Amino acid sequence: MCALLCSTDVIAAISMVSYDEQPKLFSLLFGEGVVNDAVAIILFNSVTKFSDDELSLSTGGLIVLDFFVLSFCSLAIGLAYGCLSALMLKYLRMLTRDAIVECIILFSIGYLAYITAESFKQSGIISLLTTGVIMGQYTWYNMSP
pLDDT in tens, 2-34: 544 554 566 777 778 888 888 888 888 888 787
User: Containing domain of residue 14, as a range?
Assistant: 1-49
Number of separate domains in the chain: 2
Q: Are 88 and 105 in contact (CB under 8 A)?
A: yes
Average pLDDT across the chain, whole number:
84
Q: How far apart are the first and last CA of the chain?
A: 45
Q: Is pLDDT larger for residue 114 or for residue 47?
A: 114
73 and 136 assigned to the same domain: yes
CB atoms within 10 A of CB 42: 23
pLDDT above 60: residue 1: no
pLDDT above 60: residue 125: yes
Of 8-12, 40-44, 62-66, 120-124, the range with the lowest mean pLDDT is 8-12
72 and 143 assigned to the same domain: yes
- Domain assignment of residue 99, yes or no: yes
17 and 83 assigned to the same domain: no
41 and 75 assigned to the same domain: no
Q: How far is CA 116 from CA 52, 76, 77, 137, in A?
A: 26, 11, 8, 22
